């Protein structure tokens, strides 16, 4: 298994361009199943999660080559356990398959490292649209004679449920209203893509999304092209990378407005940031001050940037606190960070981070995607060479991480084994 060697402390300089968003790409790839024609993507990120989702589309009969997906002839409505268990986002094929073909059989995703992550909100929303849903032998079996638009009030603004229900509603008869919908920028990107396919989706980015259903017969099959939005979480990671090493970097290729709360938090800690519409420049900021942060659905502080911020908090002046409200077990980076000299206590969903830790390199192990990013950042600030193991977690969500960090002057090597 490959690992990363990072020799710290590093001094960043230069410019990095983030890739397109993983979390926008996955639902958009799922939405290609709604369309009886070819979809072309100009910038799919080079990530194992994307390759993997493409395998699922192929297993259903879609033709996928060189950034295109053609789901005009689908042969199977079943996503197998062997595929789904590798990536929870696979459950996003349920909504589009059910909507277009009136049937779908998708393996029930299990829990994952960061929490149990049920899909009850996805399923009860589809039932509201008229689907019959059964769980049989570990599979979600969904079918319907037809779906009929309805008002669905989500008990929690789940990102995946909002996306799955937007797609399920695409061919439902009449109007569907999703209330208390998630407002993440990735949902807006999905709505923009669905609009290009010919669907009527309004209100994405607010908590009320309205979809006017179409019939399969009215769809065209003209090739559609889409460019996916930049990855705000990747951007946040590199910005924090410059701050944790008290150095500079210019991070481009994403909408800075999508990171409003992260940038505000960093500024309140003393970060010197030059914020442009599509880029953020980190200036030398000295030692930042600790703070308190609570993760929340967008536009709140993203859970996906929590681990990276925690790595930064450990070298700040004064103590910090993070309350994790989205996932029940998202502090797995804490014991690994402790190996590098962090002093963090966890009590339930709250982590108390001691400031001004003196960081020393250590061999560490990745446990999930964003936890791994925190370890990389810590290694960049720690004295000596850290070995980061199990980096397949990083490959899921950070395209060309080692190359990009190298271009920012980080002493990093990806060692093949």
The residue within the footprint of ligand UD1, chosen from 35, 254, 327, 398 (CB under 6 A), is 327
Q: Toward ligand UD1, which CB reaches closer, 26 or 412? A: 26
The residue within the footprint of ligand UD1, chosen from 46, 120, 202, 278 (CB under 6 A), is 120
**Rounded Cα–Cα distance for residues 304 and 164 (Å):** 20
Check residue 26 for interaction with ligand UD1 (CB under 6 A): yes
Check residue 398 for interaction with ligand UD1 (CB under 6 A): no
The stretch among 68-76, 151-159, 216-224, 254-262 that binds ligand UD1 (CB under 6 A) is: 151-159
- Calculate the alpha carbon distances from 188 to 92, 116, 226, 228, 278 in Å: 16, 26, 13, 11, 17
Check residue 23 for interaction with ligand UD1 (CB under 6 A): yes
Check residue 31 for interaction with ligand UD1 (CB under 6 A): no
Task: Indicate which residue of 10, 39, 64, 112 is catalytic.
Answer: 112
Q: Toward ligand UD1, which CB reaches closer, 150 or 412? A: 150
Q: How far is the CB of 397 from ligand UD1 (least distance, A)?
A: 8
Helix (H/G/I), strand (E/B), else coil: 366: coil
Check residue 121 for interaction with ligand UD1 (CB under 6 A): yes
Contact by Cβ (8 Å): 106, 122: no
**Rounded Cα–Cα distance for residues 79 and 89 (Å):** 12
Over 214-228, what HEC string results?
Answer: CCHHHCCCCCEEECC
Check residue 115 for interaction with ligand UD1 (CB under 6 A): yes
**Rounded Cα–Cα distance for residues 206 and 214 (Å):** 22
x/- map, 273-292, ligand UD1, by CB under 6 A: --------------------
The stretch among 59-67, 159-167, 338-346, 407-415 that binds ligand UD1 (CB under 6 A) is: 159-167
Q: How far is the CB of 327 from ligand UD1 (least distance, A)?
A: 5
**Rounded Cα–Cα distance for residues 366 and 6 (Å):** 14
DSSP class per residue in 265-280: HHHHTT-EEEE-SSEE
Q: What is the dihedral of CA 362, 365, 367, 370, to 10 degrees?
A: 50
Check residue 89 for interaction with ligand UD1 (CB under 6 A): yes
Q: Sort 371 into a burial class: Cβ within 10 Å, 0-12 / 13-18 / 19+.
A: buried
Complete edge-to-edge strand list for the sheet that includes strand 249-252: 15-17, 249-252, 279-283, 272-275
Q: How far is the CB of 217 from ligand UD1 (least distance, A)?
A: 32
> For this structure, is 112 an active site residue?
yes
Check residue 356 for interaction with ligand UD1 (CB under 6 A): no
Q: Which residues bind ligand UD1 (CB under 6 A)?
A: 23, 26, 89, 115, 117-122, 156, 158-161, 186, 303-304, 326-327
Annotated catalytic sites, by residue? 112
């Amino acid at each position: 298994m490959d690992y990363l060697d990072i020799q710290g402390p590093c001094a960043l300089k230069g410019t990095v361009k983030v890739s397109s968003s993983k979390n926008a790409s996955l639902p958009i790839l799922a939405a290609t199943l709604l369309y009886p024609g070819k979809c072309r993507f100009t910038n799919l990120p080079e990530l194992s999660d994307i390759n993997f989702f493409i395998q699922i589309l192929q297993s259903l009969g879609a033709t996928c080559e060189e950034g295109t997906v053609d789901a005009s002839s689908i042969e199977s409505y079943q996503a197998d356990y062997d595929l789904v268990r590798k990536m929870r986002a696979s459950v996003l094929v349920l909504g589009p398959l059910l909507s277009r073909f009136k049937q779908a059989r998708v393996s029930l995703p299990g829990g994952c490292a960061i929490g149990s992550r049920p899909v009850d909100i996805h399923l009860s929303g589809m039932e509201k649209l008229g689907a019959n849903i059964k769980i049989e032998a570990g599979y979600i079996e969904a079918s319907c004679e037809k779906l009929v638009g309805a008002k669905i009030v989500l008990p929690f603004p789940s990102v995946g449920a909002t996306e799955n229900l937007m797609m399920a509603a695409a061919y439902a008869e009449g109007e569907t209203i999703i209330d208390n919908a998630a407002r993440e920028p990735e949902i807006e990107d999905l709505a923009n893509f669905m609009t290009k396919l010919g669907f009527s989706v309004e209100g994405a980015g607010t908590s009320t999304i309205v979809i006017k259903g179409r019939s399969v017969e009215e769809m065209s099959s003209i090739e559609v092209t889409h460019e996916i939005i930049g990855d705000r979480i990747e951007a946040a990671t590199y910005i924090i990378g410059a701050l944790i090493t008290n150095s500079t970097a210019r991070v481009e290729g994403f909408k800075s407005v999508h990171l409003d709360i992260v940038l505000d938090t960093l500024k309140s800690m003393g970060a010197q940031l030059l914020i442009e519409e599509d880029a953020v420049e980190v200036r030398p900021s000295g030692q930042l001050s600790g703070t308190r942060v609570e993760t929340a659905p967008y536009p709140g502080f993203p859970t996906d940037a929590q681990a990276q911020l925690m790595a930064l908090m450990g070298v700040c002046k004064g103590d910090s606190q993070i309350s994790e409200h989205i996932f029940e077990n998202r502090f797995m980076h804490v014991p690994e960070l402790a190996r590098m000299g962090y002093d963090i206590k966890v009590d339930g969903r709250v982590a108390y981070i001691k400031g001004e830790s003196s960081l020393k390199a250590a061999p560490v192990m990745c446990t999930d995607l964003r936890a791994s990013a925190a370890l990389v950042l810590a290694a960049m600030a720690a004295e000596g060479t850290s070995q980061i193991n199990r980096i397949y977690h990083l490959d899921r969500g950070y395209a060309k991480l080692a190359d990009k960090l190298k271009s920012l002057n980080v002493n990093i090597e990806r060692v093949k084994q």
